[in-house]
Amino acid sequence: MRPSWTRRVREQPWLFAGALSLALLIVNIVADPNFAAPDNWPQHLATLAPLALVAVATTPAAVSGNGGLDLSVGPLAVMCNVLLVHELIPNGFDSFWTSAPLLIAIGAAVGALNGFLTTVLRYVPVIATLCVAFVIMGVNEKVGAQSISAPDNWTSSLAESIGPVPGAAILLALPILLWLALRATAYHGNLYATGGNDVTAFSSGVNVTATRIVAFTLGGIFAAVAGIALTALVQSSQASQTTFYILVGLAALALGGTSLGGGRGGLTGAYVGAAVLFLIQTLVTTLGVRPEWINVVYGVMLVLGVVVGARAGAFSLSAILPRKATSTA
């Protein structure tokens, strides 16, 4: 007997977002036949990239369990954009080899800090990362108080094509390649084991604390890549977009079906959830809807994702609250 659609969604919650994105793709093509033109795909991917990479950045911490909802990745992506435009490029760090490693290091450091706060000091992840997010917002407002255009820099090519390959496709592929590399190591299994049941994982010899710190660090690295993608797209500083990207991360995570209880989900759901948001954004623009309504639409998508996720067992209030503390050294 073939499983029902409801059962399939419960087993693979991202299927709902996949079906929704397919429907939205068709609607976009009907609304604007030029949407599917091959020449437009580099720009489509460049627009999708910051949304998708912020969504991807939320995934490792969520998979690690213990209510690992990281609210700082959106602000962190914007901070990397602001630092690149206001500080790095104007001060001589204007090549890939000088600025990209610095941004990745900043992202990793912020992610590791989140991991330390939530696993070693045992603060509730949603509270700890929200506090870090507020600090980052302050940095963004201080450094990027005035939006400025970026001087000529290496990121501009990423919004176009590098040879036959869209530059944004390279950025979108980086987390996939890293995730596939991790699948060949013990860490990938340890991450899902920790998210599924940290007590059992600890009893099996998994260093739960280190596993979760690395998960938050990965999220920080992906957020830094998102900041590079944002700069490539807009070629200016975007401090005012900080709150917007918090909403993007939450909505894409919810739509993609990654379980906040841990142990389930992956990059597929993040990419598909972000695709839904991108297609909605494009459709809203095509239909001439006023830009300020986009956050309302994203909020509706967040609610929809939470409802579907709750039906699939991915979202619940108890999921964002850590389980009873255990010895996980």
- Average of per-residue pLDDT across 240-269: 83
d(CA 240, CA 43): 22
DSSP state of 68: -
CB-side neighbour CA atoms (13 Å) of 320: 15
Q: Is the pLDDT of residue 316 over 70?
A: no
Q: Note the pTM of the prediction, 2 decimals.
A: 0.89
Best CA proximity match to 64, nearest among 236, 262, 276: 262
Q: Is the pLDDT of residue 256 over 90?
A: no
pLDDT tens by residue, 208-236: 999 999 999 999 999 999 999 999 999 99
Cα end-to-end span (Å), the chain: 46
CATH tag for 9-320 (out of 1.10.238, 1.10.3470, 1.20.1280, 1.20.1460): 1.10.3470
pLDDT tens by residue, 183-215: 999 999 999 999 988 999 999 999 999 999 999
Q: Is the pLDDT of residue 125 over 90?
A: yes
Q: Where are the domains of the chain?
A: 9-320
Confidence of residue 323 (pLDDT cuts 50, 70, 90): low
Q: Is the pLDDT of residue 113 over 70?
A: yes
